[in-house]
Amino acid sequence: MAGKYKESVTVVSQESIAEEIYSLWLQTADIAEHAVPGQFISMYTNDGSRLLPRPISICEIDRAKGQLRVVYRVTGPDTGTEQFAALKQGETIEVLGPLGNGFPLEAGKGRKAFLIGGGIGVPPILELAKQLDAEKQIVVGYRDTQFLLDEFGQNGAVFVATEDGSAGTKGNVMDAVAANELTADIIYACGPTPMLRAIKAYAQEHDIECYLSLEEKMACGVGACLGCVCQSRDKDAHSNVHNKRVCKDGPVFLATEVEL
Amino acid sequence: MAGKYKESVTVVSQESIAEEIYSLWLQTADIAEHAVPGQFISMYTNDGSRLLPRPISICEIDRAKGQLRVVYRVTGPDTGTEQFAALKQGETIEVLGPLGNGFPLEAGKGRKAFLIGGGIGVPPILELAKQLDAEKQIVVGYRDTQFLLDEFGQNGAVFVATEDGSAGTKGNVMDAVAANELTADIIYACGPTPMLRAIKAYAQEHDIECYLSLEEKMACGVGACLGCVCQSRDKDAHSNVHNKRVCKDGPVFLATEVEL
Amino acid sequence: MNTTINLAGVELKNPVMTASGTFGSGEEYSEFVDLSRLGAVVTKGVANVPWPGNPTPRIAETKCGMMNAIGLQNPGIDLFCERDIPFLKKYDTKIIVNVCGRTKEDYCEVVERLAGEDVDLLEINISCPNVKAGGIAFGQNPAAVEEITKEVKKYAKQPIIMKLSPNVTDITEMAKAAEAGGADVLSLINTLTGMKIDIHKQAFALANKTGGVSGPAIKPIAVRMVYQVANAVKLPIIGMGGIATAEDAVEFILAGATAVSIGTANFFNPTATVEAVEGIEAYMRQYHFDSINEMIGLVK
Amino acid sequence: MNTTINLAGVELKNPVMTASGTFGSGEEYSEFVDLSRLGAVVTKGVANVPWPGNPTPRIAETKCGMMNAIGLQNPGIDLFCERDIPFLKKYDTKIIVNVCGRTKEDYCEVVERLAGEDVDLLEINISCPNVKAGGIAFGQNPAAVEEITKEVKKYAKQPIIMKLSPNVTDITEMAKAAEAGGADVLSLINTLTGMKIDIHKQAFALANKTGGVSGPAIKPIAVRMVYQVANAVKLPIIGMGGIATAEDAVEFILAGATAVSIGTANFFNPTATVEAVEGIEAYMRQYHFDSINEMIGLVK
Ligand SMILES: Cc1cc2nc3c(=O)[nH]c(=O)nc-3n(C[C@H](O)[C@H](O)[C@H](O)COP(=O)(O)OP(=O)(O)OC[C@H]3O[C@@H](n4cnc5c(N)ncnc54)[C@H](O)[C@@H]3O)c2cc1C
Ligand SMILES: Cc1cc2nc3c(=O)[nH]c(=O)nc-3n(C[C@H](O)[C@H](O)[C@H](O)COP(=O)(O)OP(=O)(O)OC[C@H]3O[C@@H](n4cnc5c(N)ncnc54)[C@H](O)[C@@H]3O)c2cc1C
Ligand SMILES: Cc1cc2nc3c(=O)[nH]c(=O)nc-3n(C[C@H](O)[C@H](O)[C@H](O)COP(=O)(O)O)c2cc1C
Ligand SMILES: Cc1cc2nc3c(=O)[nH]c(=O)nc-3n(C[C@H](O)[C@H](O)[C@H](O)COP(=O)(O)O)c2cc1C
Ligand code: FES
Ligand code: FES
């Protein structure tokens, strides 16, 4: 198992790429070197009153430069993510990572794949799209404003869904799949739970191998506190009950293994 | 009564002027305009985990530029004052002021005066020295490293005491007064309680009018919480007991009015 | 949009008030806040005679909170009636007088004295650490809570708010006892007893050794207690403990508080109270509440 | 310089340990911390059978603190003995097993099962909100505390630490009851019960509605309780509640704790425990303490 690092990292650049969506490049000593697509980092604010980390997916990895990109949504005023958005080039923050298990790249090798991202689940799909060696159909769903579309275009065929119909198919990612009559042998997905539930049902119905990245409130991020569990089909070897830790055993799970 | 203002002020400049002693110029909208020597400001950190203000004396007032100077000691690692020391030009912090009553300038007019500062009680003596219209004998005591001496030299005769004897009289401010055979008709002083106690005794013995600036832990800084009281000789009109509020009724008191 | 709330027949224009002991009798903060914007001003605790309070240091900072051991310094009821009530009468706000005492008789004397004064409600602080009844603080024993409530009610002309201590195993027992004793309103929470040691001086940070912890640090405990009490008694509740923003105030109201008090937050934001008034209105607009009463205890 | 401390005959190389439930059985944090540097590792609570715990969300952030409602999820004593004890035996540290249960029998079963295992002390968690004895949590009633302590002692081969709940009127009563029941060591505090409401979702932040508040926010309350208990009983105390730095640890020791546990701080600083070990040594050098025992309860 690769190591985890608690680092004070420097902000290389930060920009707002859509309404309330920020893109941040971080210079890391070790994390970028070990990270794989689908893993996340725990980001800590510089405000002593906020103790817990914000789990944020790795959006891009530049191993050569030792840099990581994260793309995140500011969830409101006076939140930790709002404090992240105030970070300027050269400033530092604490991060812990890389955490969790990434998307299984081998499983998709040479196959016809859906890479599905919804909302703030879109970012991890980018590094996946860059590294996955497959026939890539990238299906991304947004409420309204889109982001990262240019980068996706360089890594596969892109299909867009928007809730307000402002671009691509009006509706959700599965509507875009249907509208474009897409098919696949394997699915990778990250996004809100209702979306994942729909994808799981679709995968089951069509008997497709399917990997989902889940979300849960976290404290430790490393598997120690049992704060972030999801329900598992089988009795889990670690917990000895039907619970798996999203931070450590996930966040990516085989769809059939977990209850949503 | 002049108003008080809660302002987000900008750092004009910050420098370290002695070991652990910092000098900070702040651009204020209203405070500099209303401040008088001996008043203080409540400084708030930018860290949400530290709620209470740090009361810091006003060291210089530049009314023309709308700027205030404070000089403060970093009391240790992981303190609020350490966070102040990290402030850079252009950054902002919250302050409340001007607070308390200053030194009575009229009382000293044309008289022979001691202006005594000890340790981190030295800074407020500077603006006093600049504004007081008197025969000024400035007596300043330091543990070891001295600061603000140049500025004092421009405003009166300066006598120095150091605990380690590295400059001026070895000993405390009263030793410097004795060594230099100084006399005065009125005393203004700020510094640690043992020093103020000695000055009070001296003033009593020589029957000299004497004003002391006291220190106490504060919460509100405006007289509402009764956190910062000192004992008063007479029953206080506000409290109806023998307590006066340092933040509101002081920090400067007639020596005979307060018990030390 | 209707923000008026009703506390035992007294109508407040909005649910925001000051927490006793953090706002004096309003004068000091009137430089920052138009007191007429507040639902009520709750005064610092007042006793039958002047109290000098505890030695200093009385204040210590804690993480996201503070401790105080003021020891209920107050000028006594006479000066209070002469000076503080007339001051507050100049504003269009309700006046709530916080009452403290060492014995039952002390409390009753103050309450009786206030019967003839033009104030709106009385808040009885039975959670001050100095006050003992047979060795047990009034506020930590249900029988004592009931008894003191009954006694005070005998002398009271204004509705009575009993202010509960959080330093108890089961706050609902105390709430029920106050209700049984005839309380009109409950307020909670007072401070949690804490201690801080200065490791460099190897001494207590407060002269009194212990002090009351307040501020955002204690908010989750306060919300829990307000929720529990709201679901255990029928009385209206004034919620407090760590409220610093309108969002915090709304949290207490959704948990079951009819009104809220802001204490420690005044010390770092002198306009916290008016900002809460405005922020609650903004919240009501955003979530389409016509009346604040629809919000009270909404989360079950 | 001597940092060894003695807990009921068990010698720890230093007073720093992990707080139950925040450190698993050490494996996850062994990537960051050499477990052999710690006085002891205290494991997550373990019951006689596997427990699934509460639904999610189980975690919420609060100001300078957090709330958890894990609900004592654990793999059961069998898997624990098979996997977790052998893992910890690889390190040169003491092993303290935290025990939970729903009934007296549950506790005794685990304690009996552990009698044959190579572990150093048992910590009995009688402050978990799920555990009821006649409608009252074990840890909130002195008679229940004494009784469960006595029962557990009957089956125990290792010294017993009783872990006390802070959600009580008078913690010294509980401490005395545990002492009367034969406890060897006391640990305090467990979490304070709190609640958080998401005002935008208008719902509880935790699926369980209430949760336990931990972290720096609760430190002043914990220090006060440790001080009170240290001055009420003769047993050694393991102090905890908001310890994040060596300075915090020293504060608890000066207040009367023989050892300290670090919990929530691991989540924001995975090396908090070893940093505390080093920082305590630095403090001892600075203030010329030859033995840590000179520091215990120094501030009176
Ligand atoms: C594995 C994983 C990967 C994620 N990747 C991304 C990403 O790439 N970009 C992005 O914008 N968001 C991502 N999220 C969601 C992100 O963690 C939350 O939006 C963020 O924590 C909110 O913090 P805040 O300070 O804005 O909110 P606050 O309201 O200030 O947070 C309060 C607390 O709730 C927690 N919290 C709030 N919302 C969530 C949530 N949805 N999931 C987990 N914890 C939450 C926070 O961590 C904090 O402890 C991810 C979540 C997980 C679990
Ligand atoms: C009227 C007045 C004027 C002052 N002027 C100056 C000045 O010009 N320069 C300067 O360096 N210092 C001055 N002080 C002292 C200064 O307020 C404290 O050194 C400072 O608050 C320490 O804060 P900290 O964050 O470093 O310490 P921390 O240990 O982080 O502070 C913890 C808490 O204790 C309070 N506190 C600690 N020491 C003192 C103290 N000595 N007096 C009051 N509160 C304290 C802090 O405000 C805070 O609430 C003055 C104090 C008063 C009362
Ligand atoms: C400095 C100070 C003085 C207080 N004095 C009183 C008092 O006289 N009477 C009283 O009932 N409560 C008193 N309290 C308690 C507050 O009214 C309030 O219950 C508590 O501080 C929690 O609210 P907060 O976190 O908003 O401060 C005092 C609190 C502080 C901080
Ligand atoms: C996530 C979490 C899980 C916990 N689980 C347990 C437990 O299983 N048994 C127990 O006795 N205490 C448990 N506790 C309480 C801690 O051991 C400790 O008493 C409390 O958190 C206070 O210390 P802290 O502020 O350093 O975290 C848990 C605390 C947290 C935060
Ligand atoms: S966040 Fe602690 S186990 Fe996942
Ligand atoms: S600090 Fe509140 S009265 Fe002085």
Query: What's the rounded Cα separation, in Å, for the pair C159 and C143?
Result: 21
Residue B115 has pLDDT above 90, yes or no: yes
Whether B65 contacts chain A with CB within 8 A: no
Query: What's the rounded Cα separation, in Å, for the pair B193 and B212?
Result: 10
Contact in structure between B239 and B251 (CB atoms under 8 Å) = no
Query: What's the rounded Cα separation, in Å, for the pair D18 and D198?
Result: 31
pLDDT 10s digits, D52-83 = 999 999 999 999 999 999 999 999 999 999 99
Ligand-binding annotation for B143, yes or no, is no
What is the domain count for chain D?
1
DSSP annotation string for D217-228: GGHHHHHHHHHH
C300 part of a folded domain: no
Whether D68 contacts chain C with CB within 8 A: no
Cis bond leading into B77, ω under 30°? no
DSSP D223: H
Query: What's the rounded Cα separation, in Å, for the pair C3 and C15?
Result: 7
At B36, phi and psi to the nearest 5? Answer: -130, 160
CATH 2.40.30.10 intervals, chain A: 5-99
Mean pLDDT across chain D: 95
Neighbours of chain D (3+ CB pairs under 8 A): A, B, C
Query: What's the rounded Cα separation, in Å, for the pair A10 and A31?
Result: 13
**Burial bucket for residue C75 (CB in 10 Å: 0-12, 13-18, 19+):** buried
Residue D253 domain boundaries: 5-294
B110 Ramachandran zone, left/alpha/beta (phi>0; psi -120 to 50): left
- Per cent of chain A over pLDDT 70 is 99
pLDDT for residue B2: 63
pLDDT 10s digits, C5-15 = 999 999 999 99
Contact in structure between B95 and B106 (CB atoms under 8 Å) = no
CATH 3.40.50.80 intervals, chain B: 105-257
Residue D298 has pLDDT above 70, yes or no: yes
Amino acid in position D62: T
Q: How far is CA D46 from CA A249, C1, D78, in A?
A: 21, 53, 10
Distance from the Cα of residue C149 to its chain's centroid? 16
Helices assigned H by DSSP within chain A: 31-34, 80-85, 105-108, 123-131, 149-153, 173-179, 193-205
B239 CB-near residues (< 8 Å, 6+ apart): B226, B229, B245, C50, C73, C75
> Taking CA C165 as the corner, what is the angle to CA C162 and CA C170, rounded to the nearest 5 degrees?
105
C299 part of a folded domain: no
Q: How far is CA D11 from CA D28, D40, D85, D111, D233, in A?
A: 25, 10, 19, 21, 21
Contact in structure between A84 and A11 (CB atoms under 8 Å) = no
Distance from the CA of B251 to the center of ligand 6, in angstroms? 11
Radius of gyration of chain D, Cα coordinates, nearest whole angstrom: 18
Q: In what helix (H) or strand (E) does residue B77 lie, and over which residues does it extend?
A: none
A234 CB-near residues (< 8 Å, 6+ apart): A242, A257
Mean pLDDT across chain A: 96
At C107, phi and psi to the nearest 5? Answer: -60, -50
Query: What's the rounded Cα separation, in Å, for the pair A69 and A24?
Result: 6
Q: Helix (H, G, I), strand (E, B), or coil: what is residue A121? A: helix
Query: What's the rounded Cα separation, in Å, for the pair B37 and B192?
Result: 18
Contact in structure between C205 and C57 (CB atoms under 8 Å) = yes
Radius of gyration of chain B, Cα coordinates, nearest whole angstrom: 18
- Token pair of D47 as six digits: 């019951």
D37 Ramachandran zone, left/alpha/beta (phi>0; psi -120 to 50): alpha
Q: What is the CATH number of the domain that holds D281?
A: 3.20.20.70
Distance from the CA of D188 to the center of ligand 4, in angstroms? 10
Position of tokens 């977790």?
A: D84
Distance from the CA of B223 to the center of ligand 6, in angstroms? 4
**Residue B50 and residue A48: Cβ atoms within 8 Å?**
yes
D299 part of a folded domain: no
pLDDT (tens place) for every residue of chain C, 300 residues total: 999 999 999 999 999 999 999 999 999 999 999 999 999 999 999 999 999 999 999 999 999 999 999 999 999 999 999 999 999 999 999 999 999 998 999 999 999 999 999 999 999 999 876 555 444 577 889 999 999 999 999 999 999 999 999 999 999 999 999 999 999 999 999 999 999 999 999 999 999 999 999 999 999 999 999 999 999 999 999 999 999 999 999 999 999 999 999 999 999 999 999 999 999 999 999 999 999 999 999 999
At B189, phi and psi to the nearest 5? Answer: -145, 150
D183 part of a folded domain: yes
- Per cent of chain C over pLDDT 90 is 94
Query: What's the rounded Cα separation, in Å, for the pair D34 and D48?
Result: 29
DSSP B75: -
D234 part of a folded domain: yes
Q: Of C23, C58, C77, C218, which to mutate for an interface test with B (greatest number of B Cβ within 10 Å)?
A: C58
Q: Nearest to residue C66, comparing CAs of C159, C192, C188?
A: C192
Whether B143 contacts chain A with CB within 8 A: no
At A4, phi and psi to the nearest 5? Answer: -115, 150
Q: Which residues from chain C sit within 8 angstroms of residue B242, using beta carbons?
A: 52
Domain range B105-257, CATH class: alpha beta
CB atoms within 10 A of CB C226: 30
pLDDT for residue D135: 42
D300 part of a folded domain: no
Could you tell me which residues of C are annotated as the binding site for substrate?
A: 44, 68-72, 125, 190-191
Query: What's the rounded Cα separation, in Å, for the pair B16 and B23?
Result: 6
Q: Nearest to residue C121, comparing CAs of C6, C272, C2, C227?
A: C6
- Token pair of A228 as six digits: 């972030």
Domain spanning A5-99: which superfamily? Translation factors (2.40.30.10)
Q: What share of chain D is helix, strand, coil (3-state, %, to 5)?
A: 35, 25, 40
Pocket of ligand 5 (CB under 6 A): A 218-221, 223-228, 245, 247-248
Pairing of strands B92-99, B40-43: antiparallel
**Complex ipTM:** 0.97
Distance from the Cα of residue D51 to its chain's centroid? 19
Q: How far off is chain A from D212, nearest CA to CA, in Å?
A: 12
Task: For residues D242-271, give the mean pLDDT.
Answer: 98
CA-nearest residue of chain C to B227? C58
Confirm whether pTM is higher than 0.95: yes
D132 part of a folded domain: yes
pLDDT (tens place) for every residue of chain A, 260 residues total: 469 999 999 999 999 999 999 999 999 989 999 999 999 999 999 999 999 999 999 999 999 999 999 999 999 999 999 999 999 999 999 999 999 999 999 999 999 999 999 999 999 999 999 999 999 999 999 998 899 999 999 999 999 999 998 999 999 999 999 999 999 999 999 999 999 999 999 999 999 999 999 999 999 999 999 999 999 999 999 999 999 999 999 999 999 999 99
Q: Of A47, A49, A79, which to mutate for an interface test with C (greatest number of C Cβ within 10 Å)?
A: A49
Amino acid in position C152: V
Residues of C classed as catalytic: 128
Query: What's the rounded Cα separation, in Å, for the pair B22 and A122?
Result: 47
Q: How far off is chain B from A49, nearest CA to CA, in Å?
A: 4
Distance from the CA of A81 to the center of ligand 1, in angstroms? 8
Residue B196 has pLDDT above 80, yes or no: yes
Query: What's the rounded Cα separation, in Å, for the pair D185 and D234?
Result: 9
Q: How far off is chain D from A50, nearest CA to CA, in Å?
A: 6
